[in-house]
C-alpha cells in the first residue's frame, strides 16, 4: 500500500484512520518519504516540521488504539503558507526581512487545526509578502511546478499548491488577496478555495492588503476542500473583520447535483488575451453542466475591465501602510551599520525588502499622497463599489458564475517576470472576487496541448460556499481530478 498512501485524499485517509486500517505514522512517513525524494527538485518548503509531525502522529495512533475518538482531521499532515504565524516555528513571508522571525503565537487557523490535531509538516514557499503570481519573488528559492518542473507553480501560494500536487502533504492552507490560492491551485491541477471575506479569521496572517486578504485551502479534491473549511471557518473575536454568524457544514448537500442550478457564463470570456484552449475548455465545462441538468445563463460584468487597476491601487495602498511596521527596530531585519535613526530605517528597509515589495510600497504611497489621492485611491474605491454591484446584479440571474481561473496555463520559469503588466493581467478573473469579498472555488477542468492543467473558477454569493461545493463536486464526479483528466487526455 505504501506507494499509494500519498494518493489518498484527505477524506479517504481519514476514513482509513478511523477504521484503523491505516496509522497516522504510516501516513506521515509516506509524505515524508515523498518530501525526501522530491523536495530537492520541487522546493515547495521553506521550513520542514516533519520530525515534530511524526512524533505527534505516534501519540495520536496510541490514543486511537486506546479507543479515544478523534476528529476527522486528526493525524493528517498539512502544510502552511509561510505568512501564517506558527508559535516557535519561523514565519518568513518569503522575505529577507523576516528571515529570522519566530512568532510567539499561532494564527487562529493554526489553533483550530491543532485543536483537531492535524499535523503541520512544513511551511511553504511564497512570493515575498504574497506579492506575485509565480513564487519567483521569494527571497529563498524558486518552487517548480510538479506537473512540469520547467514551469512556475503560480503564486503567491506556489509552495502550498506544489506541496499538494507533488503529494508532499495531504492538504495546505494559503492566502488569497487577488488570486494567490486559486491561480497556483489551477496551475498545479489541484483545488483552491477562497472563502467569503470575514469567514476565516485573519488573525496571525501577516497582512498584505487587509481588506482583500483571505486564508483558504488547497486540496486534492472538492470534498477535502469542504472538510478543511469546516475546521478553519468560524467567528473569531480576535479579528475585528471576522463575521459573527452561524457557519454551515460545508460538506452538507455536496452530493446533491446541479439539476436546476443556474450557472452564469461570462461574456468577458471572449476577450483578447485569453488563451483559446482555455476559452474552449470553459465552454466545454458549461456543456458538462448543461448535460447534468444545470441551466446556462449568459451574463456580463461590465466593470470587469476596471478591476485590475482598482485592485493594484487598493492592494498597494494597503500594503504600503501594513508594511510600514518593518522598520528594523521592533522585529525583522536590521542593517549592520548606521549613523542615525533615519539611516537605520532606510538601510533596513532597503536591504530587507525585495524589488517587487518596494515597487508596491512606492505605488501605494503615491496613490495615497494628498496630490493624487482623489484621482487614484478614491476612484479605485468607487470602482470597487461598481464591481460589487455588477456581481449583485449578476447573482439575480444565476446561482454561480463560471469563468477561467486564469487567462493562461503555467508558463516557463523566468518567462514573465520581466513584463509586470502581463503578469498583473493574470489576475483578471480572480482579483474582482476579492474586491467584492465573495467566495470562489477553482478546480481542474481540462488539459492543454502541453499536458498542463487548465483550471476553472466557480464564483458564488457571499457566504454561499455550499453551492460552490455542490457545483464543484458534481463536475469533479463527472470529469475526475487532474490525474483522471490526464489519463483521458482532456474533456
Ligand atoms: N498576483 C496578485 C498580486 O501580485 C495576487 C497576490 C495575492 O493574492 N496575494 O498582487
Nearest CA to ligand 1 atom 5: 178
**Residue among 125, 133, 152 to mutate when testing ligand 1 (max atoms within 8 A of CB):** 133
Whole-number Å distance, alpha carbon 131 to ligand 1 midpoint, is 5
| Gap from CA of 130 to ligand 1 centroid (Å) | 6
Cα 177 to ligand 1 centre (Å): 6
CA 24 – CA 380 distance, rounded (Å): 49
Q: Is 449 left (phi over 0), alpha (psi -120 to 50) or beta?
A: alpha
The per-residue pLDDT for 188 is 98
Mean pLDDT of 242-260: 98
Contact criterion met (CB below 8 Å) for 309 and 432: no
Distance in angstroms (rounded) separating the CA atoms of residues 254 and 251: 5
Residue nearest to atom 4 of ligand 1 (CA): 132
* Nearest Cα residue to 430 out of 179, 136, 177: 179
Give the model's pLDDT for residue 245.
Answer: 98
294-333 pLDDT, tens digit each: 999 999 999 999 999 999 999 999 999 999 999 999 889 9
Question: Is there an atom of ligand 1 within 6 Å of 131 CB?
Answer: yes
Sheet architecture: strand order including 440-447: 45-48, 119-124, 77-81, 171-176, 214-219, 191-194, 440-447, 453-459, 400-404, 262-266, 295-299
Could you identify the atom of ligand 1 that is nearest to the CA of residue 132? 4
Cα(308) to centroid(ligand 1), Å: 11
Give per-residue burial for 249-276: e unless 16+ CB within 10 Å, then b: ebbeebeebbeebbbbbbebbeeeebbe
Q: Can you tell me which atom of ligand 1 is nearest the CA of 423?
A: 1
Q: What is the DSSP string of 10-73?
A: HHHHHHHHHTTSS-HHHHHHHHHHHHHHHHHHH--EEEE-HHHHHHHHHHHHHHHHTT----TT
- Give the pLDDT of residue 237: 97
Give the model confidence (pLDDT) of 180-209 as tens digits. 999 999 999 999 999 999 999 999 999 999
pLDDT higher than threshold 90 for residue 353: yes
283, pLDDT greater than 90: yes
CA of 314 to the centre of ligand 1 (A): 12
Question: Ligand 1 in contact with 133 (CB < 6 A)?
Answer: yes
Tell whether ligand 1 has an atom less than 6 A from the beta carbon of residue 180: yes
Instruction: Tell me if 315 CB under 6 Å of ligand 1.
Output: yes
pLDDT at 272: 72
pLDDT tens, position by position, 212-232: 999 999 999 999 999 999 999
Please give the helix or strand (H or E) that residue 420 lies within, else none: helix 420-425
Q: From start to end of 356-433, where are the E strands? A: 400-404
Cell 489621492 belongs to residue:
373
Question: What pLDDT band is residue 488 in, cutting at 50, 70 and 90?
Answer: confident
Q: Where are the domains of the chain?
A: 2-262+440-488
Among residues of the chain, what percentage have pLDDT more than 90? 93
Residues paired with residue 122 on neighbouring β-strands, in sequence order: 48, 79
Are 427 and 315 in contact by the 8 Å Cβ rule? The answer is no
Alpha carbon of 429 to ligand 1 centroid (Å): 12
Q: Determine the Cα angle at 98 with ends 97 and 101, to 5°.
A: 145
What would the pLDDT profile of 375-416 be if each residue is shown by its tens digit?
999 999 999 999 999 999 999 999 999 999 999 999 999 987
Residue listed under C-alpha cell 514551469: 151
State residue 109's pLDDT score. Answer: 98
Is residue 176 within a helix (H) or strand (E), and if so which, with residue range?
A: strand 171-176
- Nearest atom of ligand 1 to the alpha carbon of 212: 8
Beta pairing class for 77-81 and 119-124: parallel
Confidence at residue 285, expressed as pLDDT on a 0 to 100 scale:
97
Closest atom of ligand 1 to CA, residue 426? 1
Left if phi > 0, otherwise alpha if psi is -120 to 50, otherwise beta: which for 463? left
Q: Which residues lie below 8 Å from residue 104, measured CB to CB, with a gap of 6+? A: 87, 88
pTM above 0.75, yes or no: yes
Do the strands 400-404 and 295-299 form a parallel or antiparallel pair, or are they unpaired? unpaired
Catalogue the active-site residues.
81, 156, 180
27-85: pLDDT as tens digits: 999 999 999 999 999 999 999 999 999 999 999 999 999 999 999 999 999 999 999 99
Report CA dihedral (332, 336, 340, 341) to the nearest 10 degrees.
Answer: 0
Determine the topology of domain 2-262+440-488 in CATH: Amidase signature (AS) enzymes (3.90.1300)
Amino acid at each position: 500500500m505504501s506507494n499509494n498512501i500519498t494518493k489518498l485524499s484527505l477524506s479517504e485517509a481519514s476514513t482509513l484512520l478511523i477504521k484503523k486500517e491505516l496509522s497516522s505514522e504510516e501516513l506521515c512517513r509516506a509524505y515524508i518519504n515523498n518530501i525526501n525524494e522530491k523536495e530537492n527538485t520541487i522546493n515547495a518548503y521553506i521550513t520542514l516540521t516533519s520530525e515534530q509531525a511524526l512524533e505527534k502522529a505516534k501519540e495520536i495512533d496510541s490514543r486511537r488504539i486506546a479507543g479515544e475518538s478523534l476528529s476527522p482531521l486528526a493525524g493528517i499532515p498539512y502544510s502552511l503558507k509561510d505568512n501564517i504565524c506558527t508559535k516557535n516555528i519561523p514565519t518568513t513571508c518569503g522575505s529577507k526581512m523576516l528571515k529570522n522571525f519566530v512568532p510567539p503565537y499561532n494564527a487562529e487557523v493554526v489553533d483550530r487545526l491543532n485543536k483537531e490535531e492535524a499535523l503541520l509538516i512544513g511551511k511553504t514557499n511564497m512570493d515575498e509578502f504574497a506579492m506575485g503570481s509565480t513564487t519567483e519573488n521569494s527571497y529563498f528559492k524558486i518552487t517548480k511546478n510538479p506537473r512540469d518542473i520547467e514551469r512556475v507553480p503560480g503564486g503567491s501560494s506556489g509552495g502550498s499548491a506544489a506541496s499538494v500536487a507533488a503529494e508532499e502533504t495531504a492538504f495546505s492552507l494559503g492566502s488569497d488577496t487577488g488570486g494567490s490560492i486559486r491561480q497556483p491551485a489551477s496551475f498545479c491541477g489541484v483545488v483552491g478555495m477562497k472563502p467569503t471575506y470575514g469567514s476565516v479569521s485573519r488573525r496571525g496572517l501577516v497582512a498584505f492588503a487587509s481588506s482583500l486578504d483571505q486564508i483558504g485551502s488547497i486540496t486534492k479534491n472538492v470534498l477535502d476542500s469542504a472538510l478543511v473549511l469546516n475546521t478553519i471557518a468560524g467567528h473569531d473575536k480576535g479579528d475585528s473583520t471576522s463575521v459573527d454568524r452561524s457557519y454551515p457544514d460545508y460538506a452538507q448537500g455536496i452530493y446533491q447535483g446541479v439539476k436546476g442550478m443556474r450557472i452564469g457564463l461570462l461574456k468577458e470570456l471572449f476577450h483578447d488575451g485569453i488563451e483559446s484552449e482555455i476559452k474552449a475548455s470553459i465552454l466545454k465545462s458549461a456543456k458538462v453542466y448543461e448535460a447534468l441538468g444545470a441551466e446556462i445563463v449568459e451574463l456580463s460584468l461590465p466593470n470587469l475591465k476596471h478591476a485590475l487597476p482598482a485592485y493594484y491601487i487598493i492592494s498597494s495602498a494597503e500594503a504600503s501602510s501594513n508594511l510600514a511596521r518593518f522598520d528594523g527596530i521592533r522585529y525583522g531585519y536590521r542593517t549592520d551599520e548606521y549613523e542615525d535613526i533615519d539611516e537605520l530605517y532606510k538601510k533596513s528597509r532597503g536591504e530587507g525588502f525585495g524589488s517587487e515589495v518596494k515597487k508596491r510600497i512606492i505605488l501605494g504611497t503615491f496613490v495615497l499622497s494628498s496630490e493624487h489621492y482623489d484621482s487614484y485611491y478614491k476612484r479605485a474605491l468607487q470602482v470597487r463599489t461598481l464591481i460589487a454591484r455588477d456581481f449583485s446584479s449578476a447573482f439575480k440571474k444565476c446561482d454561480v458564475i463560471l469563468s477561467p481561473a486564469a487567462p493562461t496555463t503555467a508558463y516557463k520559469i523566468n518567462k514573465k517576470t520581466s513584463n509586470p503588466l502581463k503578469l498583473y493581467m493574470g489576475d483578471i478573473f480572480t482579483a474582482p472576487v476579492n474586491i467584492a469579498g465573495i467566495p470562489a472555488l477553482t478546480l481542474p477542468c481540462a488539459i492543454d496541448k502541453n499536458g498542463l492543467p487548465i483550471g476553472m473558477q466557480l464564483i458564488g454569493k457571499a457566504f454561499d460556499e455550499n453551492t460552490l461545493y455542490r457545483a464543484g463536486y458534481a463536475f469533479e464526479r463527472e470529469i475526475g481530478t487532474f490525474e483522471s483528466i490526464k489519463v483521458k487526455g482532456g474533456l
